Amino acid sequence: GAVVSQHPSRVICKSGTSVKIECRSLDFQATTMFWYRQFPKQSLMLMATSNEGSKATYEQGVEKDKFLINHASLTLSTLTVTSAHPEDSSFYICSARDPLAGGGDEQFFGPGTRLTVL
């Protein structure tokens, strides 16, 4: 149980285009999903917290107009990187919180999306 999928797994795009990444919880309802970014040889940095039916909460320094997050249902959150530039190239990972698992704090991670902006 507690499987999270992400699509696409890899994407290459030209500078200036927008890219949408989907995160789905496959066998549970995720009231909260999280989006992380990881640069090579660095740890995961939390970008934003996504709550179903409400606006996302962004971490300090993350541009909300550049990284658009939508959490339209209990099983789907999307991250859109708008007007992508080469410095946005990174590994984007989502996670989902299953409120019924363990103490409710556990996050289940998707397999990640490798974004390369040319």
Partner 1 sequence: QKEVEQNSGPLSVPEGAIASLNCTYSDRGSQSFFWYRQYSGKSPELIMFIYSNGDKEDGRFTAQLNKASQYVSLLIRDSQPSDSATYLCAVNFSGTYKYIFGTGTRLKVLA
Q: Which of 5, 13, 49, 62 binds partner 1 (CB under 8 A)?
A: 49
41-61 in b/e form (b: 16+ CB < 10 A) is: eeeeeebbbbbbeeebebeee
Q: Does 8 bind partner 1 (CB under 8 A)?
A: no
61 binds partner 1 (CB under 8 A): no
Interface stretch with partner 1, choices 17-25, 62-70, 79-87, 100-108 (CB under 8 A): 100-108
Region from 19-27, 72-80, 82-90, 109-117 binding partner 1, contact rule CB under 8 A: 109-117
